[in-house]
């Protein structure tokens, strides 16, 4: 039975390195893509700082520490760091025509980035759906601050995820990312109940079993969220596949990219000379 390298399973095969999928777009040149990602990251971290400052100046300083127990906040931090690092990767590529950091780091980091990309294009949609369908209670926020903060964290988060589905030249998610997403949700469930036993509050009311009386209902919610993330993953995968189909796998390359001469928009294969010059990585097989 032929063994498949782990990097291939996680869509990090060395033969696709020259495509620079995470640092390029079919629509925007690398410099604009880096700038857009950097601005989104700046807005996300600014939002976090402003909300914390609001808590600190309105006698809610305890709420600052409690934010780390909420899935909404954890995914929002994840979005911020994803756009920060993706902006850095894209800016380096725009300047040099190479994947500067990825080429220096172990291949395992490409695998992690692939999984990171899968989370930021799935979890934000889950947060938005759960908040507006289950947690939100009408009427809509009349005060400016809660209206802005909730739109930023429970609305714009999905908009950012959608941009990352539409704009980059990324490939569809590897299906092996599904168990990783499920594991993250299970680990968060542990965080939620650890928070209850240590801090005395439920991060989300639908997790309250009320001493075992609502165990069945809570279990139903958990399986509902599991089904939701599977559907969201498939929708995200399909949208990326459709984008690649419609754009013909076009890539706008950096000016210093060696393959730019073959055509700025060409999804060019690696030639034999480039394969010979590629850095050699250990074959970690499964």
Residues 10-49 have pLDDT tens digits of 889 999 999 999 999 999 999 999 999 999 999 999 999 9
**Contact at 8 Å (CB) between 101 and 92?**
yes
Tokens representing 190? Answer: 């542990």
* Residue 131 to residue 155: CA distance in whole angstroms: 10
**Contact at 8 Å (CB) between 186 and 139?**
no
Question: What is residue 121's predicted lDDT score, i.e. its pLDDT?
Answer: 98
Question: What is residue 8's predicted lDDT score, i.e. its pLDDT?
Answer: 85
DSSP secondary structure string for all residues of 177-240: HHHHHHHHHHHHHHHHHHHHHHHS--SSGGG--TTTTTHHHHHHHHHHHHHHHHHHHHHHHHHH
- Residue ranges covered by each domain of the chain: 6-248
Nearest alpha-carbon partner for 150 in 244, 213, 72, 202: 72
What residue ranges of the chain have pLDDT lower than 70?
1-2, 263-286
**Contact at 8 Å (CB) between 80 and 41?**
yes
**Contact at 8 Å (CB) between 101 and 88?**
yes
Question: What is residue 2's predicted lDDT score, i.e. its pLDDT?
Answer: 63
Straight-line distance from the first to the last Cα atom of the chain, in angstroms, rounded to the nearest whole number: 11
* Residue 37 to residue 120: CA distance in whole angstroms: 13
Other CB atoms within a 10 A radius of the CB of residue 279 amount to 9
What does residue 285 show for φ and ψ, rounded to 5 degrees? -110, 155
DSSP H/E element including 264: none
Nearest alpha-carbon partner for 198 in 82, 76, 66, 89: 66
pLDDT tens per residue, range 129-141 = 999 999 999 999 9
Other CB atoms within a 10 A radius of the CB of residue 22 amount to 22
């Amino acid at each position: 039975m032929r063994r498949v390298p782990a990097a291939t399973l996680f869509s990090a095969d060395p033969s696709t390195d020259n495509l620079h999928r995470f640092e390029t777009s079919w629509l925007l040149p690398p410099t604009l893509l880096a700038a857009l990602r950097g601005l989104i990251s700046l807005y996300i971290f600014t939002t976090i700082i402003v909300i914390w400052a609001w808590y600190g100046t309105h006698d809610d300083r305890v709420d600052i520490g409690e934010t780390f127990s909420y899935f909404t906040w954890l995914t929002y931090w994840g979005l911020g760091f994803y756009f920060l690092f993706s902006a850095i990767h894209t800016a380096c590529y725009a300047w040099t025509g190479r994947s500067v950091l990825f080429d220096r780091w172990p291949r395992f980091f490409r695998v992690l980035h692939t999984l990171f990309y899968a989370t930021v294009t799935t979890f934000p949609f889950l947060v938005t759906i759960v908040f507006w369908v289950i947690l939100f209670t009408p009427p809509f926020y009349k005060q400016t601050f809660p209206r802005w903060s909730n739109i930023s964290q429970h609305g714009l988060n999905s908009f950012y995820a959608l941009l990352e589905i539409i704009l980059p030249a990324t490939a569809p998610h590897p299906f092996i990312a599904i168990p990783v997403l499920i594991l993250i949700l299970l680990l968060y469930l542990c965080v939620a109940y650890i928070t209850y036993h240590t801090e005395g509050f439920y991060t989300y009311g639908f997790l309250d079993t009320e001493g075992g009386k609502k165990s069945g209902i809570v279990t139903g919610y958990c399986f509902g969220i599991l089904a939701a993330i599977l559907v969201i993953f498939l929708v995200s995968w399909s949208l990326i596949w459709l984008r690649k189909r419609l754009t013909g796998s076009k890539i706008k390359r950096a000016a210093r990219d060696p393959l730019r001469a073959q055509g700025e928009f060409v999804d060019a294969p690696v030639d034999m000379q480039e394969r010979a010059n590629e850095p050699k990585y250990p074959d970690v097989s499964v």
